[in-house]
Amino acid sequence: MTQEIEHTHLPIRGLNLHVAQVGKDELGTVVFLHGFPEIWYTWRHQMLAVAAAGYRAIAPDSRGYGLSDQPPEDVEATWEDLVADVLAILDTLSIQKVFLVGKDYGAIPAYDFALRHPDRTRGVTCLGIPFSPAPFDFTTMPEGFYILRWREPGGRAEADFGRHDVRRVVRTIYILFSRAEVPIAEEGQEIMDLADLSTPLPPWFTEEDLDAYAALFEKSGFRYPLQIPYRALHRMKMQLDAKFQVPVLMVMGEKDYCFKFPGFEEAMRSGAMETFAPDLKIVYIPEGSHFVQEQFPEQVNDLLLGFLKDHP
């Protein structure tokens, strides 16, 4: 499936970032930003679909992920770096204006880029994470909530992950994150204890897909991925006066466990997002999980291509 996709490394702001690309840019360019525990490969279905429709698809491995370089350990991870990386990629490739597609934590720099650089943005599509004008507040969640566990700086997540090989860690997270329930450990449990090797993979995620993810995380490990997003969520900026000047498409699987995060459903169903994004369309996929772009690729591709064509 991925033979048509080309792979390069670009010198971006002191790091060599891995970038996957396909397509000829007849109608424009689409930049895909992944979440956790993802890399460029999460967008394989969408990249080929937009390329076939006449667009150029670009999917970087975020700094510290996959085949991209690791920032030095003493450098603080920031959301501003992710936005600056996207801008530098566009400048390096001499691309003036793009559509942005973000998933999971990749939605945060996608939204931020569109707000900061509307002159470089044709539109933004985000999956799973609504726009938030303030840092996410998880103080009402139980102690065993995975984000509270993984954002601890003392190495608890590293110790939990370190009990298993990389393939087992990615496998477990994919199983947990594809469910409708929020991953929460009981007292005496760690997050990796919530699934074992007898737990089947989601039917739409193959052993070969798992191999592709595991190979890339073997290279990067989890040190930086735990910094961004989990240990930087509290450093999201206040943007109470944000106003998108470009069209926004929000896609949410109704069985995405993130839908149960505090304030997420209200932000989407109450019309609160329209305060910040006047040209907003929200689409719900009834059986969609957190990995809706891999679970229902044709449905997501149709929505994405429709959005691109509606905003030439």
Please list the alpha-helical segments (H only) found in 132-191: 146-150, 156-162, 166-177
**HEC assignment per residue over 45-114:** HHHHHHHHCCEEEEEECCCCCCCCCCCCCCCCCCHHHHHHHHHHHHHHCCCCCEEEEEEHHHHHHHHHHH
Tokens linked to 15: 């790091």
Of the listed 160, 209, 213, 290, which one is catalytic?
290
- What does each C-alpha distance from 301 to 19, 85, 120, 204 come to in angstroms? 21, 25, 23, 16
- Exposure of 249 in the CB half-sphere (CA atoms within 13 A): 24
Of the listed 104, 112, 160, 256, which one is catalytic?
104
Check if 213 is active-site. no
Check if 290 is active-site. yes
Residue with tokens 């840019």: 25
Q: Which residues, in sequence order, are CB contacts of 145 under 8 Å at separation 6+?
A: 138, 182, 183, 184
Of the listed 41, 55, 213, 230, which one is catalytic?
230
Check if 104 is active-site. yes
Collapsing DSSP to helix, strand or coil, 21 comes out as strand
Between CA 4 and CA 199 the distance in angstroms is 33
Which residues are designated catalytic? Answer: 104, 230, 290
